[in-house]
Amino acid sequence: MPRYFFDLHSDCLSEWDDEGIECHGGEEIVHHALAILRSVPKSDGAMHAPTVVTARDAAGRVIVTATLKPRLEARIQWAEAEIAAAGASTVPLAGRSASAP
- The answer to pTM > 0.85 is no
Give residue-wise pLDDT tens across range 19-63: 999 999 899 999 999 999 888 876 545 457 789 999 999 999 999
**67-74: long-range contacts (C-beta < 8 A, 24 or more apart)?**
68/37, 68/40, 73/99, 73/100, 73/101, 74/34, 74/37, 74/99, 74/100
Q: Where are the domains of the chain?
A: 3-93
Q: What is the 8-class DSSP label of residue 46? A: G
Of residues 57, 59, 63, the one with CA closest to residue 82:
63
Q: What value, to the nearest 5°, has the Cα angle with vertex 15 and ends 36 and 3?
A: 65
